[in-house]
Amino acid sequence: MLTIGQLASYAGVTIRAVRHYHQVGLLPEPERDRSGYRSYDADAVVRLIRIRTLADAGVPLARVQELLAADPATFSVAIDEIDRRLRAEIRELQEHRRRIAQLGSGDSLAVPDEVADYLDRVRSIGAPDVLLEGERDAWILIAARYPDQIPAFMADKRAQLEDERNVRFYQLIGELVRDDGADHERLVHEMADLLVELFEEAAAAGQLAQQDEFMDDSAFIRLLDSMANEHPPVRRLRELLAERGWAGWTRIERLET
């Protein structure tokens, strides 16, 4: 007859595990002998090994008792079901690993893959980190509010990057960030001129009239605008745009004259 320590050693588990299996009812707890000790026989070792084997294979302890008592056909069906669950968990963990690997610098945190790719393209044309951080945060909000619109938004943004004027706009922001103040006003004026030219073309093509089809929540638009207005250059740029007959930031409108 075996002590609890010998039982644990022969079955390849810890004494703590044996006591836990007693508590959850998987392993019958023998009566104490006259000396106050519990002793285990060969059947206990075999049962404990079977418990350990099932647990090591990923079978939940709540189902081990069922499988120990199952006939071969029931056992096979249950094992197939557990295997499907484990494969689903593995796929979920692999997806978590894929997303973690994509986080990189943090630009892809909480944004769809399409947005992360777009931010990478904006970085590649020389946009400063402060702009990328602001764009990333704005897209986090947009992706949460309009998840189904992200593919269309990104297609439009990628097309915009094919226009050298938009590329120049991002480059001007970079120059503005690095500016010591001497050329600040000149840079903001050049940015305003570029935007007005782009707005005029978009209005002529009927694109501005379609803005509400993609983003129809006025409170949300004000929220995005408030994020942009935190930056003094944006506030100055909007003043210049208003002087040229344009209002808005997230949603562009021609001012009535």
CB 55 within 8 A of CB 24: no
Q: What pLDDT, on the 0 to 100 scale, is given for residue 45?
A: 93
Q: What pLDDT, on the 0 to 100 scale, is given for residue 99?
A: 67
Q: What pLDDT, on the 0 to 100 scale, is given for residue 33?
A: 78
How far is the C-alpha of 8 from the C-alpha of 148, rounded, in Å?
56
pTM: 0.58
Q: What is the mean pLDDT of each run of 10 residues along the chain (257 residues)?
A: 90 94 92 83 92 89 90 89 89 80 59 87 87 88 91 92 92 83 87 94 90 87 90 90 93 86
Q: What pLDDT, on the 0 to 100 scale, is given for residue 42?
A: 92
How far is the C-alpha of 248 from the C-alpha of 254, rounded, in Å?
9
Q: What pLDDT, on the 0 to 100 scale, is given for residue 177?
A: 80
Q: What pLDDT, on the 0 to 100 scale, is given for residue 104?
A: 56
**What residue ranges do the domains of the chain occupy?**
4-101, 105-254
Q: How far is CA 204 from the centre of its chain?
A: 39
Bridge partners of 247? 253
Q: What pLDDT, on the 0 to 100 scale, is given for residue 107?
A: 54
Give residue 213's region: left, alpha or beta (phi > 0; psi -120 to 50). alpha
How far is the C-alpha of 196 from the C-alpha of 133, rounded, in Å?
25
How far is the C-alpha of 51 from the C-alpha of 68, rounded, in Å?
8
CATH topology classification for 4-101: Multidrug-efflux Transporter Regulator; Chain: A; Domain 2 (1.10.1660)
How far is the C-alpha of 179 from the C-alpha of 176, rounded, in Å?
5
Q: What pLDDT, on the 0 to 100 scale, is given for residue 257?
A: 64
Q: What pLDDT, on the 0 to 100 scale, is given for residue 106?
A: 54
Q: How far is CA 58 from the centre of its chain?
A: 27
